[in-house]
Amino acid sequence: MIDEKHNPWTTLSSKEIYQNPWIKVREDQVLNPNGGEGIYGVVSMNNKAIGIIPVDDEGYTYLVGQYRYPLNEYSWEIPMGGGLIENDILASAKRELQEETGFTAEKWTNIARLHTSNSVTDEEGFVFLAQELKAGETAFEETEVIHIRRVAFEEAVRMVMDNEITDAISVAGILKAAILLQQEK
């Protein structure tokens, strides 16, 4: 029987290597589950990842496109951003939706909790389905050059399946929302 509560890793020492306002990087000297010594690098996030899937009354969703520096490529994705760990995740989701699309929503459903890359980071993400939308003004951050694209929800699913949307939170959120929206019909 598997003991899911038992941690088979032993941390011998831990040292912070780098820190900025968004992340911390540490290097741990460890004993792995088989007793071998090694190094484990961990990226700790200072924010929770918050993704929002806005769906209007006609069944359309809104994607945001922007150039992603670490990938060196353009990315279509759901509206998303960070929320301070101590902040309410729904409040962060409402702020991000308004900032990136201008929309506010009357109906919010938390549809997913996920870990973005659990072999190297402790980042925890949440995805919300936002419905009953009301248009407003965007409030992009200084570093953001965002394009907003209205697509039929089925088109967003096709974009995921054709690898046109590759962001992990967007992929998971769109596919989960597709199942949930289909169940509502």
Is the CB of residue 29 less than 8 Å from the CB of residue 110?
no
Q: Using 50, 70 and 90 to split pLDDT, how confident is the model at 174?
A: very high
Q: Is the pTM of this model over 0.85?
A: yes
- Eight-class DSSP state of 14: E
For residues 141-154, average pLDDT:
90
What pLDDT is stored for residue 87 in this prediction? 92
Strand residues in 116-163 grouped as ranges (E): 124-134, 147-152
Residue found under tokens 């003004």: 137
CB atoms within 10 A of CB 113: 11
CB atoms within 10 A of CB 167: 19
For residues 108-120, average pLDDT:
95
Residue 128, pLDDT > 90, answer yes
Share of the chain above pLDDT 70, in %: 100
Distances (CA, A) of 116 to 38, 66, 176: 24, 19, 15
Residue 144, pLDDT > 80, answer no
Query: At a CB cut-off of 8 Å and minimum separation 6, what does 102 contact?
Result: 135, 136, 137, 138
Q: What is the mean pLDDT of the chain?
A: 95
